């Protein structure tokens, strides 16, 4: 796989790098942020995959979350990929919530999206294979994300029992089949058959989970998308009904921004470190 390191910056005793690598499954070059904590010099470190939200690239998380401090404390590699395939031959749409920057971590089945929009396969298989080819990275994995990326983290963990030691999310879209963001994206990527959408919806997946991996979710109660798009009460009800362990923390005053993520990413990384280093 062709790989080029395009950024390399000392950060909290380790290195914040950005790579461009060829993705065969997406049919394009992808950029990905990789934070290497100082502990990689002593041996392989576990990896936390971070999935970003609508409109983001790999840059948002690595420049704004302040996560490197905690990764350096706990000896965890942070891998932050882009949010969709990119390039001139990749389909796109008007609006920020479909097409580039809005891959929704699914495998599209409909034209014109199916030829490139396979972010699920990229995140679950191709990206970890690329990461773990480096002897600095172990195969102990955790996954987290924000908003659309919180949806990605939760669905991917639920669909792949045993593959991740821990999962968490900030302000996730928990029921995309029931809210405008998800309905628009799924209609385009997956077509009109709403039964097929359920395979990509946390609230649906939790009902049939084969593994009781605890879910950790933080949600600001001043989030401008709380009522219309996020609806954490649907996750709470589904988890209660299924008996699935869920810690949902409503955070008074916090909104949907990276100031919210920065305030609690230390808690999340400590949570993942406990599972990854156990």
Active site residues: 147, 223, 256
Smaller CB distance to a second copy: residue 262 or 274? 262
Q: Of 105, 186, 200, 254, which one interacts with a second copy (CB under 8 A)?
A: 254
Q: Of 110, 178, 183, 263, which one interacts with a second copy (CB under 8 A)?
A: 263
Smaller CB distance to a second copy: residue 24 or 224? 224
Of the candidate spans 92-100, 127-135, 192-200, 261-269, the one that interacts with a second copy by CB under 8 A turns out to be 261-269
Q: How many residues bind a second copy (CB under 8 A)?
A: 25
Residues 196-215 that bind a second copy (CB under 8 A): none
Smaller CB distance to a second copy: residue 19 or 260? 260
Site string for a second copy, 152-191 (x = CB under 8 A): ----------------------------------------
- The alpha helices in the chain, defined as continuous H runs, are 59-64, 68-74, 119-121, 127-132, 148-159, 180-190, 194-197, 202-206, 232-242, 258-276
Burial class (CB in 10 A: 0-12, 13-18, 19+), 92: middle
Closest CA to 223 of 181, 253, 264: 253
| Residue whose pair of structure tokens reads 């280093």 in the numeric block | 277
Site string for a second copy, 82-101 (x = CB under 8 A): --------------------
136 binds a second copy (CB under 8 A): no
Smaller CB distance to a second copy: residue 169 or 265? 265
Separation of alpha carbons 278 and 276, rounded Å: 6
Smaller CB distance to a second copy: residue 68 or 166? 68
Q: Are 232 and 217 in contact, with CB atoms under 8 Å apart?
A: yes
Q: Of 75, 152, 182, 220, which one interacts with a second copy (CB under 8 A)?
A: 220
222 binds a second copy (CB under 8 A): yes
Q: Are 219 and 230 in contact, with CB atoms under 8 Å apart?
A: yes
37 binds a second copy (CB under 8 A): no
Report the nearest approach of a second copy to the CB of residue 9 (Å).
4
With H, G, I as helix, E, B as strand and everything else as coil, classify residue 274.
Answer: helix
Separation of alpha carbons 88 and 44, rounded Å: 37
Separation of alpha carbons 108 and 147, rounded Å: 19
Site string for a second copy, 234-253 (x = CB under 8 A): -----------------xxx
Contacts of 77 (CB under 8 A, 6+ apart): 34, 35, 36, 37, 40, 45, 46, 47, 48, 71, 131, 136, 137
Can you say whether residue 13 is alpha, beta or left, with left for phi > 0 and alpha for psi between -120 and 50 degrees? Answer: left
Report the nearest approach of a second copy to the CB of residue 85 (Å).
27
Q: What angle do CA 196, 198, 204 make, to 5 degrees?
A: 160
Interacting residues toward a second copy by CB under 8 A: 9-13, 16, 63-64, 66, 68-69, 220, 222, 251-255, 257-260, 262-263, 266
């Amino acid at each position: 796989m062709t790989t080029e390191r395009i950024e390399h910056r000392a950060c909290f005793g380790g290195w914040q790098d950005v790579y461009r690598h060829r993705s065969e499954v997406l049919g394009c070059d992808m950029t990905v942020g990789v934070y290497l904590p100082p502990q990689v010099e002593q041996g392989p470190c576990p990896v936390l995959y971070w999935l970003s939200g609508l409109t983001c690239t790999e840059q948002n998380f690595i420049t704004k979350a302040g996560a490197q401090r905690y990764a350096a404390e706990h000896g965890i590699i942070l891998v932050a990929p882009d949010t969709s395939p990119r390039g001139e031959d990749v389909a796109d749409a008007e609006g920020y919530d479909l097409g580039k920057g809005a891959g929704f971590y699914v495998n599209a089945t409909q034209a014109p999206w199916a030829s490139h929009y396979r972010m699920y396969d990229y995140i679950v298989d191709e990206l970890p294979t690329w990461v773990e080819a480096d002897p600095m990275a172990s195969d102990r994995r955790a996954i987290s994300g924000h908003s659309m990326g919180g949806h990605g983290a939760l669905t991917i963990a639920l669909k792949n029992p045993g593959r991740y030691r821990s999962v968490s999310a900030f302000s996730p879209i928990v029921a995309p089949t029931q809210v405008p963001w998800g309905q628009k994206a799924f209609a385009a990527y997956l077509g009109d058959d709403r039964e097929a959408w359920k395979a990509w919806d946390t609230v649906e997946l939790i009902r049939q989970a084969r593994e009781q991996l605890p879910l950790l979710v933080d949600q600001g109660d001043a989030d401008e998308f709380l009522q219309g798009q996020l609806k954490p009460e649907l996750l709470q009800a589904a988890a209660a009904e299924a008996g699935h362990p869920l810690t949902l923390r409503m955070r008074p005053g916090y909104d949907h921004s990276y100031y919210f993520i920065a305030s609690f990413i230390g808690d999340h990384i400590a949570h993942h470190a406990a599972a990854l280093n156990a």
